[in-house]
A = this chain, B = another copy of it.
Amino acid sequence: MNTSLDCIPCLLRQALDTARMYSDSAAVHEQILRDVLLWCGNMDMSKPAPVMGQRIYRRLRELTGVQDPYLSAKVRQNQLALRLLPELRAELARAKDPFELAVKFAIAGNIIDMGAAGDVSLPGVRKALAQAIAEPLSGAVDSFRRAAQKAETVLYLTDNAGEIVFDTLLIELLGPAKVTAAVRGAPAINDAVLEDAQMAGLADMVKVIDNGSDAPGTVLSETSEQFNAAFKTAGMVIAKGQGNYETLSDSPRLVYFLFKAKCPIIAKRAGVTIGSQVLQQSNVNITAVMEKA
């Protein structure tokens, strides 16, 4: 998915907000803003927006020496989600269709996003979970269910800290033995890294790999050989979050995207309204993929 002109003011806004997480220095805030202005002025709009996000966080690390200003926030988000887990298990136990509800909880967890207009507060997360219980899930539900049943191996691309706790509920139903989970290779906003997978209990359940990249999405030209092999060979790929949607929606293989639509550009691209729970498959030629498989 390319970068829309409307993404640019938002990227600037995010650069400034993020700079304030990295440093209290007004000089740093101004420097990163001026850098991003000049980069965006000459930007290749055919690249997805997370590529610019990646450049911003790299530059902030370089300017400030700070590696992960979101660390304590991520710990809080994991703890918040872990506290909610027993309630969610109880809901799943009495659900008519536990698989569908687990998908919706995994999508609801995507609200815990410090990059887009997410909400990392307990009321915000509870609201998303209530929506998950109340609202039917539209989109590629049946196709997703069939693919999950059929696939012998599943690569599960996680997104945010906290959210990955909710992912464990879906992964239990997918069958942990056949799932590999991937996290980011380095800190990017509150995206989950290996430590978060450990804290969330995900690392005790499935094999977890890092994707070798510090992009807040999945940029296949930058991810590791190990990751790319897993991405290519997995029977099914599930990708969480807007960043993975932006970077993989034009991917050459079939990918199932699960996310909360938090930005108007992405909501429009996905054909949904802001706040929607999205389960979509990529627009790849599925027949061709099936024939190849």
Chain A residues at the B interface, C-beta cutoff of 8 Å? 5-6, 8-10, 12-13, 16, 26, 29-30, 33-35, 37-38, 40-42, 45
Contacts and interface: CB of A to CB of B under 8 A. Distances in A.
A8 B37 contact: yes
A118 to B, nearest CB: 18
Interface of A is mostly: helix
Contacts of A42: 34, 38
Contact of A41 (B9, B29, B34, B45): B34
A40 B11 CA distance: 14
Contacts of A34: 40-42
22 contacts: A5-B16, A5-B29, A5-B30, A5-B33, A6-B16, A8-B12, A8-B33, A8-B37, A9-B10, A9-B13, A9-B16, A12-B12, A30-B45, A34-B40, A34-B42, A37-B37, A37-B38, A37-B40, A37-B41, A38-B41, A38-B42, A41-B41
A8 B36 CA distance: 11
A35 B5 CA distance: 13
A37 B34 CA distance: 9
Counting chain B CB atoms within 10 Å of each CB, the highest count among A6, A9, A35, A45 belongs to A9
A120 to B, nearest CB: 21
A9 B12 contact: yes
Contacts of A45: 30
Contacts of A30: 5, 45
Contacts of A41: 34-35, 37-38, 41
Given A5-B29, A8-B37, 5 more contacts: A5-B16, A8-B16, A9-B13, A34-B41, A38-B41
A66 B5 CA distance: 21
Nearest to A38: B41
A263 to B, nearest CB: 14
A6 B33 CA distance: 10
Ranked nearest first, the 10 interchain pairs of A and B with the lowest CB-CB distance are A37-B41, A38-B41, A9-B12, A9-B13, A9-B9, A37-B40, A37-B37, A34-B41, A5-B33, A5-B29
A176 to B, nearest CB: 43
A163 B16 CA distance: 34
A30 B45 CA distance: 10
Contacts of A6: 16
A42 B30 CA distance: 11
Nearest to A40: B37
A288 to B, nearest CB: 31
A34 B45 CA distance: 11
A16 B38 CA distance: 17
A35 B38 CA distance: 10
Counting chain B CB atoms within 10 Å of each CB, the highest count among A16, A30, A41 belongs to A41
